Structure 1
Amino acid sequence: MVLNTLGILLPAMSAELSLSPSQQGLLGSASHWGNIALAIPLSWMTSRLSPKLLTAAAITLATLSLFLQAWAPIFIVLLIGRLLFGIGNIAQQPARALLTRQWFPSKEVIFVNGLSNVFFGLVVGGGLVLAPVILDLTDGDWRKTLRIFGFYFIGITILWLILGKTRTNEADQDIVVPNGLEVIKGAL
C-alpha cells in the first residue's frame, strides 16, 4: 500500500527537502534495493523462524521505517527509511510461503497465491487512491501522511499478533531441512 505511494508524496518531499532529480530517483528505487540484494539471503535465514513472529517483526520494521521517514530531517535519513521499508516488505515473503503451506493443501496453493495477488492489488490500489486524499486532508503534509500510514501499520501489527496463527502441517512433520548449500545446489 505504502510502497507505491512515493510518487504522490514526492513533490511535497522535494519541495521541503530541496531534493535533486537524482535524489528523487534514489528514493524511488531504494525500497527495491532490499529485494535485489537481500531476497535470497533473507529468505534462507528467515525460513526457519516462526511465520507468526517473522511477520510481526517484518511489519514492525516497516512501521518503524515509516515513522523514520516521516521524521527524516535530511535526505539520507529518508533514504535509509525507504531502504528499511523495502527490507521489511521482503522479509514477510518467507512467512507468507510457510503460512500458505501450513494452512492449505498443496492442490490449493496456486488458488491461494492468486487470491493473495488480488488482495495485494486491492491494497496497493487502495493506497494509491487514499494517499492523495490523505495528503489533501493534511494540507499537503507528507510527514503527517506517512505517520497516518504508520498508525495503520501499527493496527495491522496488533491485529496480526492477536489473530495470526501458525500450525504444523502433517506433511511437514518428518521433513529434514537441508542446509543452505544443498538448497542453492538444488535450485541451480
Structure 2
Amino acid sequence: MDPIARLDRLPLGRPHLRLLFLLGLGWALDAMDVGLIGFTLPALTREFGLSPVQAGLLGSVGLLGMLLGAALGGRLADRLGRKAVIGYSLFLAGLGSLLTALAPSLAWVFLFRFLTGLGLGAELPVAASLMAEWSPLRLRGRMVVLLEAFWAVGWLLAALLGYLLVPEYGWRLAFLAGALPALYAAYLRLSLPESPRWLMARGRVGEAAALG
C-alpha cells in the first residue's frame, strides 16, 4: 500500500499526540516571544528614551522579520525538509531573544528583534504543514486547529513573564527567560519525524514507508 494512503487511514495515536506536543511547545514559545515585546515596550521606552515613532518601529520590526521568514521558510522546507527548517528556525528565534537580552544599545535591539522574527516567521507555517502532513485525513483540520491553540498558551506565558519579571527585574530578564526554553525546544525538535509526503516527493520511498 502507498505509505501516504496508509498514514491517512491510521487512527489517532501516540505518535500524533507526541508530534502535536512537540510542535505545540514551539508554537507556544513563538507566541510568547511575539507577546513579550508588548509587555516590555514600556520599559524599553523608558530606558532608551524612545519617541512614539521609535517605539512603534521597535514593536513592528519583529513582524517585518516574520514576513520575510515566512516567505523563505516554505521554500527552504521544500528543499531541506520540514524537520530541518523547524529546528533551525526555532533555534534562530531563541538565539535572537537571547541576544536581545544582552543587547548593548538600541540599534542592536532592533537587529536582534528582526532576527527573532525571521526565525518565528519561518517556523510557524512549516510546523503547521508538518502537523497536517502527518495527521490522519479525517482529523487533519482538527489537529492543525489544536496546534494553533497553543498560541494562546504562549500569550499567557508572555503576560506572566511581563507581570512577574519586568517591574522588578527589567526587560532583559524577561527576554532571557523567553530564550532559554526556546533553545531547549529547538533541541527537542531533533527528535521530530520528517514529513512522509516530503520524503515521497524526494523519491525516498523506503524512508516514508518506514514512518508509516
Question: What's the TM-score once normalised by structure 2's chain length?
Answer: 0.71
**Structure 1 position 117, deviation (Å):** 1.6
CA deviation profile, 1:71-106 (whole Å, cap 9, x unmatched): 112221111111111110111134314422442123
CA distance, structure 1, for counterparts of residue 144 and residue 127 of structure 2: 10
Q: Which has the higher helix share?
A: 2
Name stretches of at least 5 consecutive residues in structure 2 with no aligned partner.
1-31, 204-212
Judge conservation of contact 2:70–2:125 (CA < 8 Å) in 1: no
In the TM superposition, 1:79-158 aligns within 5 A as 79-136=110-167, 139-158=168-187
CA distance, structure 2, for counterparts of residue 120 and residue 97 of structure 1: 12
**Structure 1 position 126, deviation (Å):** 2.4
CA deviation profile, 1:107-129 (whole Å, cap 9, x unmatched): 32210111012122122222223
Change (3 A) 1:146 1:38: closer
Count of matched residue pairs: 172
Determine which of 175, 192, 208 is the counterpart of 1:164: 192
Determine which of 83, 87, 93 is the counterpart of 1:56: 87
Change (3 A) 1:98 1:36: closer
**Structure 1 position 43, deviation (Å):** 1.7
CA distance, structure 1, for counterparts of residue 104 and residue 199 of structure 2: 50
Q: Could you say which structure has the greater relative contact order, defined with CA pairs below 8 angstroms and 6 or more residues apart? A: 2
Which residue identity is paired with 1:14?
A: T
1:32 is matched with 63
Which residue identity is paired with 1:89?
A: L
**Structure 1 position 142, deviation (Å):** 1.0
Change (3 A) 1:38 1:149: closer
Which residue identity is paired with 1:132?
A: Y
Change (3 A) 1:71 1:130: closer
**Structure 1 position 131, deviation (Å):** 2.5
CA distance, structure 1, for counterparts of residue 182 and residue 160 of structure 2: 17
Name stretches of at least 5 consecutive residues in structure 1 with no aligned partner.
178-188
Taking only the aligned residue pairs, the percentage that are identical comes to 26
Root-mean-square deviation (Å): 2.3
Change (3 A) 1:48 1:106: farther
